[in-house]
Amino acid sequence: MNSTKSALKRKSQKVMQEFSKYLMPTYSRIPIVIDRGEGTRVWDREGKSYLDFISGIGVMAAGYSHPDICKVIKEECHRLIHCSNLYHVEAQVELAKKLCQLSFADKAFFCNSGAEANETAIKLARKFGYEKGAYEIVAMENSFHGRTLATIGLTGEEKYRKHFAPFPPGFKFTSFNNLNELEKNITPRTCAVIMEPIQGEGGICEATPSFIEGVRNICTEKEILLIFDEVQCGLGRTGKWFAYEHYNVEPDVMTLAKPLAAGLPIGACLAKKNIADIFSPGDHASTFGGGHLVCSVALKFLEIMEKQDLVGEVEKRGIYFKEKLHLLKEKFSFVREIRGKGLMLGLELDFEGKPVVDIAREKGLLINVTRGKTVRFLPPYIVSEGDIDEATSILKDALKDAIKEVRD
Ligand SMILES: Cc1ncc(COP(=O)(O)O)c(C=O)c1O
């Protein structure tokens, strides 16, 4: 190893050691230090490059260092970074208008993360049901809605909840894709049902059309809100602007986050007018939410989506990628199932997927695992067929090596 290389390795190791000294141990981080990114690739501090098929967990949809995103950040930061919601901010209303034009919604509220967007939806649902004394929210088993106390209270997965009870009361769980059970869980005290049309952290599990249509009918009939958490599956990820468009339904409320501001923190809760207007001044707020810079970047991201037809690209690339994954399934009997839509795909194994992730990384591909056995792919929307070929070739080798490790 030459001296520059070993100096970089030492630097990288020092950074990682200092993480354990200075940061709360909330993440089991992968042992690389990411230094920069461009397009569909990132480089670590030692100069090794990786094809990134997880893209900041579904955030870097337009790719790294998109020139238009970098330009808008540079220009707008000189104009105004932030000034609070004491005042009107033009970029905020432009972003709200754009999201409403793209979706079923009439009004928006901006915050800083997916969890906060869901907190907004929870509060809106609670105020919606207040006069009737309806406060219960029914969520799905296997779901994920964030890490605040209320949103883990609504997350149907024990590993996130353990150690943190008690949660705010009034949250109930029902089996995903089981309409009879859902119906039994609705009472006169129910104000809303919340669900991800495609569960992300839950292992890329799609709602069946009959379930989602049935939920919509029940909510309409019982006059309760249907909230779609599209934090992971929304904004083009599944090959439509919003995942609900794959189904013959619209929600009353929808939450968004991840890719919306191309890597800057943002969350949005969208709703139909009659529901949005339940909030009055003082009911909800966020110091940073909807700031000028972040909204300007989000507007640019949506412009890029339209200009580069990224929704259409996701649809095409998703079909291509899924076909490649099916070929792997045919080849390896330990691949149980391929799931998902667009570029939100999962490959379920019959063993724990961590070795696959580790070996793929060594070979230059970043992916991750959800629910232990599902290898998850959330590549940037700008992936080429060449990137997909490269990723599937690395994945094939990683699967071959991992099965040897697991079975030996
Ligand atoms: C469906 C869903 N909802 C909510 C969240 C929470 O978002 P955030 O981490 O931005 O709070 C996530 C994060 O992965 C998610 O996938």
Assign residue 387 the CATH number of its domain: 3.90.1150.10
Do 177 and 283 share a domain, yes or no?
Answer: yes
Give domain status of residue 396, yes or no.
Answer: yes
Q: Which of 44, 229, 252, 387 is catalytic?
A: 229
Cβ–ligand 1 contact at 232 (below 6 Å): yes
Residue 229 known to be catalytic:
yes
Indicate the residue among 253, 274, 307 that finishes a domain: 307
Q: Measuring CA to CA, which residue among 157, 219, 154, 159 is closest to residue 183? A: 219
**Number of separate domains in the chain:** 2
The separation between CA 69 and the C-alpha centre of its own chain, rounded to angstroms, equals: 20
The separation between CA 346 and the C-alpha centre of its own chain, rounded to angstroms, equals: 14
Do 198 and 245 share a domain, yes or no?
Answer: yes
Indicate the residue among 307, 324, 345 that finishes a domain: 307
pLDDT of residue 383: 98
pLDDT of residue 408: 78
Cβ–ligand 1 contact at 144 (below 6 Å): yes
Cβ–ligand 1 contact at 115 (below 6 Å): yes
Give domain status of residue 322, yes or no.
Answer: yes
Is residue 187 within 8 Å of 136, Cβ to Cβ?
yes
Give domain status of residue 9, yes or no.
Answer: no
Segments forming the whole domain that contains residue 72: 67-307
Do 251 and 325 share a domain, yes or no?
Answer: no
What does the alpha-carbon distance between residue 211 and residue 221 come to, in Å, rounded to a whole number? 15
b/e per residue, 123-154, with b = 16+ CB within 10 A? bbbbbbbeeeebbbbbbbbbbbbbeeebbbbb
Q: From the CA of 249, how far away is ligand 1's center (Å)? A: 22
Do 252 and 316 share a domain, yes or no?
Answer: no
pLDDT of residue 145: 98
Is residue 42 within 8 Å of 34, Cβ to Cβ?
yes
pLDDT of residue 1: 65
Cβ–ligand 1 contact at 239 (below 6 Å): no
Atom of ligand 1 nearest to the CA of 257: 10
Give domain status of residue 4, yes or no.
Answer: no
Cβ–ligand 1 contact at 157 (below 6 Å): no
Residue 258 known to be catalytic:
yes
Q: CA Rg, the chain, in Å?
A: 22
Q: From the CA of 38, how far away is ligand 1's center (Å)? A: 24
Is residue 113 within 8 Å of 265, Cβ to Cβ?
yes
Q: From the CA of 7, how far away is ligand 1's center (Å)? A: 37
pLDDT of residue 157: 85
Q: What is the pLDDT along the chain (408 residues), one digit of tens a residue?
A: 688 889 999 999 999 999 999 999 999 999 999 999 999 999 999 999 999 999 999 999 999 999 999 999 999 999 999 999 999 999 999 999 999 999 999 999 999 999 999 999 999 999 999 999 999 999 999 999 999 999 999 998 888 999 999 999 999 999 999 999 999 999 999 999 999 999 999 999 999 999 999 999 999 999 999 999 999 999 999 999 999 999 989 999 999 999 999 999 999 999 999 999 999 999 999 999 999 999 999 999 999 999 999 999 999 999 999 999 999 999 999 999 999 999 999 999 999 999 999 999 999 999 999 999 999 999 999 999 999 999 999 999 999 999 988 887
Give domain status of residue 161, yes or no.
Answer: yes
Cβ–ligand 1 contact at 160 (below 6 Å): no
Helices (H), 23-157: 55-58, 67-79, 90-102, 114-130, 149-153
Do 294 and 344 share a domain, yes or no?
Answer: no
Do 388 and 282 share a domain, yes or no?
Answer: no
Q: What is the largest CA-CA distance in the chain?
A: 72
Do 151 and 299 share a domain, yes or no?
Answer: yes
Do 150 and 253 share a domain, yes or no?
Answer: yes
pLDDT of residue 282: 97
Do 247 and 348 share a domain, yes or no?
Answer: no
Do 300 and 313 share a domain, yes or no?
Answer: no
Do 336 and 213 share a domain, yes or no?
Answer: no
Smallest CA separation from ligand 1 atom 3, residue: 145
- Reading phi first (left if > 0) and then psi (alpha if -120 to 50, else beta), residue 263 is in left
Q: From the CA of 302, how far away is ligand 1's center (Å)? A: 20
Cβ–ligand 1 contact at 120 (below 6 Å): no
Indicate the residue among 307, 329, 347 that finishes a domain: 307
Do 130 and 235 share a domain, yes or no?
Answer: yes
